[in-house]
Structure 1
């Protein structure tokens, strides 16, 4: 992990930058959790393993925790970071015989049932707020057509209230859109934030956590995660669905859920929509973090594949679209803190994020915790910048 440290006196922030790698292979580790111990302030490494973490100067004596499922966590104080020092996370694969388990006789399905029955114990029973960063990357066939990044606040009811959170859009950082297929003019999609927040297995009580009749599960291993151990359980619901569930050994909290669903040789799991949309693959990842005895969303990714046909009954394929949406949570505000917190819901679900966009504010983003662009995304950004300029020139 490559670190540099600088103190921004004007805003009283310390900025840490680094690269997280595997100790044995030297490969970059994506989506590593980096947070201040005892707080909910955090960030995430990007797919190149690179991160930038802004922390309040008044918390400079707090330890920074770097953790990832399957690896031994590292704790370092900001003052002890050496510039450009490389620190690698060590992988640790545990066997069942190496772990003290209270319920040794439970099967994989019984563990998931117990986790489902323990939702009240593990997830917030009072209103709360989350701050987070949204990234939306859209591709049609092999061409990228949109990159959007924004910061938002989310006001939730307790975990079992089946309703999406109210949203305050704070700022838009990147907003590049080029020519889309004419089909989009008639069938404009919902905004990225709405697409994300309506997919929540725990809040809306569905998916692989419920142990449906067709699901078959198996314990694959037990892994370390942030001073605890988690079961890694793989599940299959033939012919379309697969899931990997990471469940805390002690509390039976769902720590991470990976769900994949895909069509098989033109056998689809969902009906085609009247506008010609046919979903052929759906991938959802939800990862949670523990704070003050409860588990809150830390990271969410939805990555889909849609075949767009000319109509409901037509076999003519117009194009294939690949939307990828991510939400990175960087702060939790619990019930006792809400009274001191400014929140103004302003998101109109019938308008796309780009139509909410205001003028870019560099001061807002100066110390905002968000995953930085990867090399690949930087190339895509430059392409979309130029493509957007060309579109504007053609429209004059």
Structure 2
């Protein structure tokens, strides 16, 4: 593995930041028009439905649906619902539906209806006898070996990816802000120390700041917050050679993904380490030494130190600190090589006003899913003025939800019912405001 960027700050500590102020004072210049997309047409078929557990009928959250023989894919939402758009010239392929710990299912497109599809997956049971076959004895050594095999197992070519990005802000259970975007990601090879670049293609938002108690709360970094959760591309944020010694790794259980034996390795920082590091689970293909998935969270032992990592700006009379910061990343396989497919960041924090009896609880979620990709043969990155800045605030950059055909043929993650309700409510409020001002 090449020597990667030397980052001493914790994972996403300088990228995933909150911006709080009594007034909205941040202005972001609009990025240039993105490249690589065709004009919108109706030359596609659309399928919607849900993915559930076969025995319990419970929704499977963030299940992957990929069209066989193509690079087209999508993700089910937190209610198990999915929306998949496929060009009409792709008519004979199958959809591969997969979920961590379940048997993958192949569904012919010809068997899918436009809506109301229900795809059930069966839990994959691993026999105890399988676990003992060539079982590694040292969890730490397996993690180190997996990181060392990165250049062999992940994309070695430059790739131009289409991705769907969404971020939401909630006050307790009420949706306050929703921003979405379709972006181009110029993914550099995994053995390269060049950062990926992002271009904004389209974006939209729905915001009701009246629920924020006069505090304008914003997430800075936009898609970069999720992009940097790709820990195989950016190991310096969590598993740099120097930081590995801060962790304890141990074997927890095994499962199967796409008929491959997967070891689940848990990790946590050593008790002697005082700085905030991480705890979580790594899903590793034992035979090939490949990280297929990871879930982890920041250890918040000192709320002042945690606040310094994430709170960029706030009013003087307000104390703000995170109570939860968690991450997820999923990888996908194509022709024997793996690549970044989906990631999410969830942050919960308290806002405590000095002159109020009660504090407020807010949550932020950012997620991004790769919906299509192609080889970037030249390997060229966009010019700086065409890229999204890492300081972008998507809720400032995006426009409204007025165009019903805004997303055209691009795959998005189906919105939750609560989000849809919030959008409709805010739209009604905006229309009433416009009528009253006329």
Q: TM-score, normalised by structure 1?
A: 0.82
The answer to whether 1:373 aligns with 2:410 is no
Give the whole-Å Cα distance in 1 for the aligned partners of 2:289 and 2:433.
52
- State the structure with bigger RCO (CA 8 A, min sep 6), 1 or 2: 2
- Does 10-19 or 248-257 show the bigger shift? 10-19
Note the 1:38-57 alignment, pairs <5 A: 38-57=69-88
1:254 partnered with 2:291: yes
> What's the secondary structure of 2:372's corresponding residue?
strand
- The match for 2:306 is 270
Matches within 5 A, 1:81-230: 81=112, 86-98=118-130, 101=133, 103-141=134-172, 143-162=174-193, 164-179=195-210, 180-184=212-216, 189-206=219-236, 209-210=239-240, 212-230=244-262
| SS of alignment partner, residue 202 of structure 1 | coil
Cα distance in structure 1, aligned partners of 2:225 and 2:330:
17
Shift of 1:189: 4.5
CA distance in 2, matches of 1:159, 1:35: 22
TM-score for the superposition, normalised by structure 2 = 0.75
Structure 1 residues 105 and 257: alpha-carbon distance in aligned structure 2, compared to 1, 3 A threshold = closer
- Map 1:282-321 to 2 at 5 A: 282-308=325-351, 319-321=360-362
Are 2:371 and 1:330 equivalent residues in the alignment?
yes
Deviation of 1:171 (Å)? 1.4
Deviates more, 1:364-373 or 1:379-388: 379-388
Partner secondary structure for residue 79 of structure 2: coil
Alpha-carbon distance, 1:386 to partner:
4.6
**Pair 1:232 & 2:264 matched:** yes
User: Cα 1:140–1:161, aligned 2, differ >3 Å: closer, same or farther?
Assistant: farther
Gaps of 5+ in 2: 1-40
Gaps of 5+ in 1: 1-9
Q: Between 193-202 and 40-49, report the one with greater CA deviation.
A: 193-202
Q: CA–CA distance in 1 between the matches of 2:173 and 2:329? A: 27
Alpha-carbon distance, 1:197 to partner: 3.0
Partner SS state of residue 213, structure 1: helix
Q: Write the deviation string for residues 51-93 of structure 1: whole angstroms up to 9, x where unpaired.
A: 1211122221111101111111111211133685644210012
Offset of 1:40 from its aligned partner? 1.4
Deviation of 1:361 (Å): 4.9
Q: What is the Cα deviation at residue 319 of structure 1?
A: 4.2
Residues 1:141 and 1:125: Cα distance change in structure 2 (over 3 Å): same
Does the CA contact (< 8 Å) of 1:208 and 1:215 recur in 2? no
Contact kept? 1:146, 1:384, Cα under 8 Å: no
Preserved CA contact (<8 Å) 1:133 1:330: yes
- 1:327-347, CA deviations, whole angstroms, 9 ceiling, x for partnerless residues? 1110122234879x9xx9353
Q: 1 CA distance for matches of 2:356 and 2:232?
A: 37
- 1:169-228 CA distance string (max 9 Å, x none): 1112443342344443xx864242233334442323235545722422222222221232
Cα distance change of structure 1 residues 377 and 114 upon mapping to structure 2, 3 Å threshold = same
